[in-house]
Structure formats: structure tokens, C-alpha cells
Amino acid sequence: MTQICYSKSAQYKDLGTIYAQCSGPGGLQLSDFMAQKMGLKGGARLLDIGCNRGIQTCFLAKEYDVDIVGIDPWDDRMHGDPMVEHTRRNAEKWGVSHRVLAQKIGVPDTYFAAESFDFVHSTTALEMVRGINGEEGYLDCLREILRVLKKGGVFGLGEPMHLDVPLPKDLEPYVSYGDFSWKECFRDIHSTVADVKRAGFQIVESGYAPDAWAWWMEFAEHDPFCKKDPGGDPKTLAVDNGRWTSFGYVIARKVD
């Protein structure tokens, strides 16, 4: 088991800014976690899927010395600016524009040449694709990731998941509403691992992140949409109280 060291992300202390620039639990700690679980190496070429405003992308480029293509097909919910424009602006601010290229595209239609990347990484993005396009749509994304990864390359998936327990009855209404209801989007670790295997990967390691609940609590406190709407995700998490919602990861390799 890799022992995770959070000294790189610990330098960035302004959680308000961090959570305003990404959109999910974990912030830069999650990026440290994924980078070390994947064994990210300086000089490698990484594809970051669902990079949002690119703060995690810039962090990885700067602190792990990798060249990154960040992709995101959506515009932000506040002003309608493309996420990739935020990513480009962040790359300038972080001094990594020579290492970060942002493209307004998404999985499964990336149009990259086969075997373009040493690493592919995605956090808190593919479960939304599952919510929109179902299990087959999710699998199409995983197959595309396999296609663009070099042989021997590593895929790191970090995703909101639920624990391997039945959904508590009193929680059900809180996770069943909206376009991306957690009930539709979230799976447990076993089902996610099975999907990654079905897509053709070899599993290296998987599990629930030990700090999953702390990351969700940080998200509830600092995410701008949570601050605006305490009756939304923060209320869901308060009702849950750690019984069902978690955050899982799968590290997988392309073997042939």
C-alpha cells in the first residue's frame, strides 16, 4: 500500500479558493492522493478528464512536473465561460502554461490518437456521465481511456461512491433528486472495479479513500454552491452522517 504524503497540497492553505476552482470533494489533497497512487513521474504525459477550472491540473503540472492535457466539455454554471478558459487562465497564474493544454472536449469522443498518454486521470467526473448516459455510456468512456493510454500506462479514477451497504431509507429522498442524483450517479467500489475490468484494464489497486468523509465535510463547508444552498448537498451529507456516501479510487493498467 502506498503511504500518501500530503506535503505538496498542504502548502496551499486557502480552501475557499481551492474549492471555488474545482468542483468536488478532496481539492488538492485528492490530487496528491491520486498522483501518488498512480506513481506519477516527472516528464510524463497525463490526460486529465473533467479538469473543470483546472486548479488540480495546474497543481499536478507544477508539483509533479508532468505535461498535461486537460479536457472538459462544459461551461461554468456561474457566468457561462468555458471551463477550459478558466484552466488556461489558471495555468498562466500558476506559471505552468508551457505544461498545460486545455481542450473543450469530453469522453468518450476525445479524437486523440491511440496510445497518446502515459497516464490518464479523472476525478469526480465520470459518475456524472453515468448519470446522463447510463452504465453503457460510462463503459464507453472507460474504453476510450484504454484506447488513448499507452501500453503499460496507468489510469487513476477517483469518484464519489457509496459504501457497500444498503441505502438508508431516511437518506433516499436526499440522494434521489435533481439532474445528477447521487443515487443514479454513485456506485460502490466493487461495481466500479468490475466496470474498469470489463473495459479491459488490469486492476492495480482499489478502495475507499481513508479521508473520504473529511473531504466531503470540507466540500460541504467550502464549495460555493454548498455555501449558497445549505439545504442541498450539505443537508444530504448531514443526514447521511457517514453511513452511505464515500469516495473511492481505482488504479488500473493497460496491459496489452
Ligand X SMILES: C[S@@+](CC[C@H](N)C(=O)[O-])C[C@H]1O[C@@H](n2cnc3c(N)ncnc32)[C@H](O)[C@@H]1O
Beta pairing, strands 149-162 & 117-123: parallel
> Does residue 123 touch ligand X according to CB under 6 A?
yes
Compare residues 76 and 115 and give the one whose CB is closer to ligand X: 76
In terms of CB distance, is 23 or 236 closer to ligand X? 23
Q: 174-180 long-range CB contacts below 8 Å, 24 or more apart?
A: 174/235, 174/236, 174/239, 174/240, 175/236, 175/244, 175/245, 179/131, 180/128, 180/131, 180/132
* Contact call for residues 73 and 106 (beta carbons, < 8 A): yes
CB nearer to ligand X: pick between 50 and 153: 50
Decide if 59 contacts 36 (C-beta within 8 A).
no
Task: Compute how many residues bind ligand X; rule: CB under 6 A.
Answer: 19
Q: Cβ closer to ligand X: 12 or 74?
A: 74
Of 244, 180, 195, 162, which Cα lies nearest the Cα of 23?
180
Binding mask 124-163 for ligand X (x = CB under 6 A): xx--xx----------------------------------
- Cell numbers at residue 163, please? 459504501
Measured from the Cβ of residue 133, the count of other Cβ atoms closer than 10 Å reads 14
**Binds ligand X by CB under 6 A, chosen from 72, 118, 195, 223:** 72
Q: What residues from 1 to 60 belong to the interface with ligand X (CB under 6 A)?
A: 22-24, 49-50, 52, 56
CB of 222 to ligand X, least distance (A): 12
Q: Which residues bind ligand X (CB under 6 A)?
A: 22-24, 49-50, 52, 56, 71-74, 83, 106-107, 123-125, 128-129
